Amino acid sequence: MQTPDAPLMLSVSGARGIVGKTMTPEVAAAYGGAFGSFLKATTRKARPRVVVGLDGRISGPPLAAAAIGGLTATGCDVIDIGVAMTPTVGVMIGHHKAEGGLTVTASHNPIQWNGIKCLDGDGLAPPPAIAKEIVDRFKERRIDWCAPTATGRVEQDGSAARVHVDRVLGNVDVAAIRAKKFTVVLDSVNGSGCVGGRMLLEELSCRVEHIFGEPTGVFGHTPEPLVENLVDLANATRNAKGAACGFAQDPDADRLAIVDETSRFIGEECTLVLAALRMLQRTGGGALAANLSTSRMIDDVAARFAGSRVIRTAVGEANVVAGLRPANGILGGEGNGGVIFPPVCWVRDSLSAMALVLELLAHEGKPLSQLVAALPRYAMVKRKMELAAVGGMAAVAPALAKVKVAFAKERVSDVDGVRVDFADGWVHLRASNTEPIMRVIAEAATEARADELCEVCRRAAGV
Ligand code: MG
């Protein structure tokens, strides 16, 4: 995905491209116009209302302005909440009873990227069929520009972070967390989580040591919250006297990674498991949802609570929500540090994740390292296969077909890419929605075995 000539990626996750090449104000205006036209055609509202936010990366304002232009020129009214976390856009759609939302973000991608995501009137990432309808409208430029007298209006709302934080505070045990007066190190990567992340922790009576806490949009480090990018967080947590943990948000603040009080990165897979553990403790059991690439730790933790179950879904936030919502699930998410807490919003939310982890710490009264040590542990290997040299995205289907044939004797699922379950581990191969790569994830008792499973599948795929 480092290639500067990457095409505009269009998928269920929205549009993503290289700023100034494939992601331009022209693209953003057309995308806003396509989404506005879609809302006009499907909501039967004369003036659909759309909440618009941006993740604070430095290329965002002209793209957001263009997208707002597209929306208002198709007759939508816009509530402009400015720099906002992606989950905040979800919260504000409900707050304003709007018909949809649009956020300008490329999530954890490096700074040369930007993108556009749409949300529906429930603050949900639209299901695949709807997402495709919006993308098709954009590709075919089926945009219904409105009459001059019907142009939408723009209203600014500067209260979004406050509203989001209050929603989280209303759904966690504030008193228990405040009583602990935790010291927490927060790395907001100078992204959209700076204001809300700090506000939440201060409301929870935490002493906050904030690194990369200026919302300049110039990322303080490579933005994906992986161990190699969180060296500063680990150092700051080690140096902060008595820190309970360190939290890292990605630029649009939907994902959360954690380091424990000894400054050890606990792995992004643990975020969802810790949040789920707290919710299971609170409720005594319930339905959880996680995608097929998520660690089996969550299954083991759920098994400790009678009547609990884990619904496994295809990768992608919309798919997880589609599993979680009809089951009245208590929590859902993805192994990349994305936690979906239904009382707050249907979007992965780093604020909810932080609050639930702190609630767990408060109630357990033990250091985070001990709580993590008590979790079942597996080794997970995540690899990316670059497809550029083997025919790009066109190489995906034949590669997956080869894997299915090679492991026909094992348990194989093709709900989403191909997942092969071996007796002592599993491997999941799938094309990325947003980058010209294939992701391979393997989990087993040891790293060597997970590596081996990965390699066996890579060879079978011929990539
Ligand atoms: Mg993100």
253 and 341 belong to one structural domain: yes
Q: Is residue 172 part of a domain?
A: no
At 302-329, the pLDDT tens digits run 999 999 999 999 988 888 999 999 999 9
462 Cα to the center of ligand 1, angstroms: 31
222 and 348 belong to one structural domain: yes
Q: Where are the alpha helices (DSSP H) in 73-105?
A: 86-95
369 and 400 belong to one structural domain: no
Q: Is residue 169 part of a domain?
A: no
Distance of alpha carbon 426 from alpha carbon 418, whole angstroms: 11
53 Cα to the center of ligand 1, angstroms: 14
At 204-261, the pLDDT tens digits run 999 999 999 998 888 899 999 999 999 999 999 999 999 999 999 999 999 999 999 9
**CATH code of residue 440:** 3.30.310.50
Beta carbons of 428 and 417 less than 8 angstroms apart: yes
225 Cα to the center of ligand 1, angstroms: 9
- 77-83 vs 113-119, strand pairing mode: unpaired
194 and 112 belong to one structural domain: no
255 and 360 belong to one structural domain: yes
147 and 195 belong to one structural domain: no
Beta carbons of 441 and 293 less than 8 angstroms apart: yes
Q: Is residue 322 part of a domain?
A: yes
pLDDT at 5: 61
Torsion 221-431-253-103 (CA) sign? positive
pLDDT of residue 422 exceeding 90: no
257 Cα to the center of ligand 1, angstroms: 11
Looking at 160, 186, 209, the residue that finishes a domain is 160
Distance of alpha carbon 101 from alpha carbon 71, whole angstroms: 11
At 181-200, the pLDDT tens digits run 999 999 999 999 999 999 99
86 Cα to the center of ligand 1, angstroms: 8
Check if 432 is active-site. Answer: no
335 and 209 belong to one structural domain: yes
17 Cα to the center of ligand 1, angstroms: 15
255 Cα to the center of ligand 1, angstroms: 6
Mean pLDDT along residues 423-450? 88
In the set 11, 13, 107, 263, the catalytic residue is 107
Q: Is 432 left (phi over 0), alpha (psi -120 to 50) or beta?
A: beta
Q: Is residue 238 part of a domain?
A: yes
Q: Which residues contact 116 (CB under 8 A, 6 or more apart)?
A: 14, 15, 16, 28, 31, 32, 63, 67, 102, 103, 104, 105
pLDDT at 40: 96
184 and 310 belong to one structural domain: yes
250 Cα to the center of ligand 1, angstroms: 5
**CATH code of residue 93:** 3.40.120.10
401 and 361 belong to one structural domain: no
- 243-249 vs 256-259, strand pairing mode: antiparallel
251 and 312 belong to one structural domain: yes
268 Cα to the center of ligand 1, angstroms: 13
Q: Is residue 294 part of a domain?
A: yes
At 83-127, the pLDDT tens digits run 999 999 999 999 999 999 999 999 888 889 999 999 999 998 888
Structure tokens at 190: 């100078």
Entry pTM: 0.90
At 28-61, the pLDDT tens digits run 999 999 999 999 999 989 999 999 999 989 999 9
Q: Calculate the CA 285 to chain-centre distance.
A: 25
| Residue whose C-alpha is closest to residue 396's, from 325, 463, 314 | 463
pLDDT at 291: 93
Number of residues assigned to the chain:
463
144 and 247 belong to one structural domain: no
147 and 274 belong to one structural domain: no
End-to-end CA distance of the chain: 17
**What mean pLDDT value characterizes the chain?**
93
| Residue whose C-alpha is closest to residue 82's, from 70, 106, 99, 65 | 65
pLDDT of residue 1 exceeding 70: no
Looking at 349, 373, 397, the residue that finishes a domain is 373
- Name the domain count of the chain: 3
Q: Is residue 59 part of a domain?
A: yes
Domain extent, residue 425, equals 379-461
Beta carbons of 268 and 226 less than 8 angstroms apart: yes
